[in-house]
Amino acid sequence: MASSPEDHPSLDAADVRAVKVQYYAQLREEAGRSGEAVESRATTVAELFEELDRWYDFSVAPDDLRVAVNGSFADWDAALSSQDLVVFIPPVAGG
């Protein structure tokens, strides 16, 4: 599923970021995996989620998710760097 520089011949290798993504709960079920390494042109967390949503057609909207980058909660406009660990956290139900 990962996009690679070869898929985008006009891209310079510097335009591609290799990030690790972890999914929890409903997102894990919809992606069919708990995590993956992704090569992406996304420059922000929001762009990365949009790209992943095109692949997996997630049923959870970004407004209903929290996101963490490298262990700290982040805003959706947070910049991505290669080797970042991005975690998408859906709402937790329970009682």
- Structural domains of the chain sorted by starting position, each given as residue range(s) with its CATH number in brackets: 5-89 (3.10.20.30)
Strands (E) in the chain, as ranges, are 17-23, 35-40, 66-69, 72-73, 85-89
pLDDT of 5 strictly over 50: no
pLDDT in tens, 32-86: 999 999 999 999 999 999 999 999 999 999 999 999 999 999 999 999 999 999 9
Cα–Cα distance measured from residue 73 to residue 95, given in angstroms and rounded to the nearest whole number: 24
- The pTM for the full model equals 0.82
Cα–Cα distance measured from residue 37 to residue 46, given in angstroms and rounded to the nearest whole number: 17
pLDDT at site 64? 94
pLDDT at site 78? 97
pLDDT of 23 strictly over 70: yes
Residues 6+ positions from 15 with CB-CB distance below 8 Å: 8, 41
